[in-house]
Amino acid sequence: MSSVVELEKTQTQQAVSQLDQLKQFTKVVADTGDFATLKDYAPQDATTNPSLILKAAQMPGYKSLVEAAIADNRKASATGKALLSQTVDDLLVLFGVDILKVVPGRVSTETDASLSFDTESLINKAHRFVSLYAEHGISRERILIKIASTWEGIRAAEVLQKEGINCNMTLLFSLVQAVACAEAKATLISPFVGRILDWYKKSTGKDYAPAEDPGVLSVKEIYAYYKKFGYATEVMGASFRNKGEILELAGCDLLTISPQLLGELKQSTEPIERKLTPALARSSKIERLELDEKKFRWLLNENAMATEKTAEGIRLFNADAVKLQDYLAAKL
């Protein structure tokens, strides 16, 4: 009889999806503007960006959100670029509000890429998002303001965090950016695993196994640094190209994952191993990095990959933000 019970227990254990296994030691976040897909994967949080919102806004299922944002701003006194900017802000927040009806945790809403080098304007944009969410009854505890990890963006986050406005530092590709964000007491960072891999594959012409993936290794280094030196800032690996990258970072504080890769994790019941732990990270041999603005800018400049991918990411997000504005302008 006991052998039958043991067999049933083994079969039950084997039936646990990789997604559910991952959730045992990593907070899973959905990387999408299509909140209709969220219920399938039950993530804790969700992140968005201009590219995801542009894609979702053109789906028939979200027509009502687009119409609501336009209707609200037709009544406004603003015109031209100001009107378009307000409408985009309203649409981003409307998506965020509906996402928060599905996820129990937080939603990340991205500031304009065009403001990435303007500390004051980033602070003002964050205040606007918080105010818009408040109008919908959403407290700031459920919001993460996404800001590019430029020097100016990090300074904006430093001010916002002191005000109790939590920040998600995005477009992050290097340890120097990560350290500066932690020193500014940002709530979390989003190092872009896949985009780092893209750069190295293009630069070297090589393919990389997940364990040797430069993006994976970068996140492991940042995670180890944070745990060794006791920073409260959380690490949320982002921008994955394949499931292997995710599995190599099992144990990271958070991972934000596209619906496609969430689906792959849900469909597999292969056992996964925790690769990152605070205890192991604290034993790593890493030297503390002392930073000021000059040192930050120099070290970032010396990292060709991080410099190029940060600049490229800002350009691409801005291009999609402009496309979203054009899409809304045609309807306005």
Of 111-115, 146-150, 320-324, the poorest mean pLDDT is in 320-324
DSSP 184-218: TT-SEEEEBHHHHHHHHHHHH-----GGG-HHHHH
- Name 254's bridge partners: 27, 236
Is residue 11 in some structural domain? no
Checking if the pLDDT of 292 tops 50, the result is yes
The first and second tokens of residue 254, run together, are 């958070």
Phi and psi at residue 186, in whole multiples of 5°? -60, 145
Q: Looking at residue 286, what is its pLDDT?
A: 92
Is residue 9 in some structural domain? no
Is residue 116 in some structural domain? yes
Checking if the pLDDT of 97 tops 50, the result is yes
Distance, first Cα to last Cα, the chain: 70
Distance CA 49, CA 83 (A): 20
Is residue 17 in some structural domain? no
What average pLDDT score do residues 283-307 get?
A: 96
What average pLDDT score do residues 295-324 get?
A: 97
Q: Looking at residue 92, what is its pLDDT?
A: 95
**How does pLDDT run across 241-250, given as a tens digit for each residue?**
999 999 999 9
Q: Looking at residue 9, what is its pLDDT?
A: 43
Is residue 90 in some structural domain? yes
Q: Looking at residue 331, what is its pLDDT?
A: 83
| Domain range for 300 | 23-331
Q: Looking at residue 11, what is its pLDDT?
A: 46
Distance CA 196, CA 249 (A): 15
**How does pLDDT run across 250-273, given as a tens digit for each residue?**
999 999 999 999 999 999 999 999
What average pLDDT score do residues 72-79 get?
A: 75
Side chain identity at residue 52, one-letter code: L
What average pLDDT score do residues 165-182 get?
A: 98
Please state the domain count of the chain.
1
**pLDDT category of residue 4 using cuts at 50, 70 and 90:** very low
Is residue 225 in some structural domain? yes
What average pLDDT score do residues 276-304 get?
A: 96
Residue 81: Cβ-neighbour burial (10 angstroms; 0-12, 13-18, 19+): exposed
Distance CA 327, CA 316 (A): 17
**How does pLDDT run across 219-241, given as a tens digit for each residue?**
999 999 999 999 999 999 999 99
Q: Which residue has the higher pLDDT, 198 or 73?
A: 198
Supply angle C-alpha 304, 308, 314, rounded to 5: 150
Supply angle C-alpha 52, 58, 64, rounded to 5: 105
Q: Looking at residue 43, what is its pLDDT?
A: 96
Q: Looking at residue 78, what is its pLDDT?
A: 65
Residues with active-site annotation: 146
Is residue 18 in some structural domain? no
Is residue 1 in some structural domain? no
Q: Looking at residue 12, what is its pLDDT?
A: 46
Q: Looking at residue 10, what is its pLDDT?
A: 46
- Calculate the CA dihedral of residues 283, 185, 27, 137 and round it to 10 degrees: 170
CATH number at residue 115: 3.20.20.70
**How does pLDDT run across 15-68, given as a tens digit for each residue?**
899 999 999 999 999 999 888 888 899 999 999 888 889 999 999 999 999 999
Asked if 195 and 152 touch (Cβ cutoff 8 Å), the reply is no
What average pLDDT score do residues 193-216 get?
A: 97
Q: Looking at residue 14, what is its pLDDT?
A: 58
What average pLDDT score do residues 147-168 get?
A: 98
Checking if the pLDDT of 276 tops 50, the result is yes
Of 270, 260, 324, residue with least CA distance to 62: 324
268 DSSP assignment? -
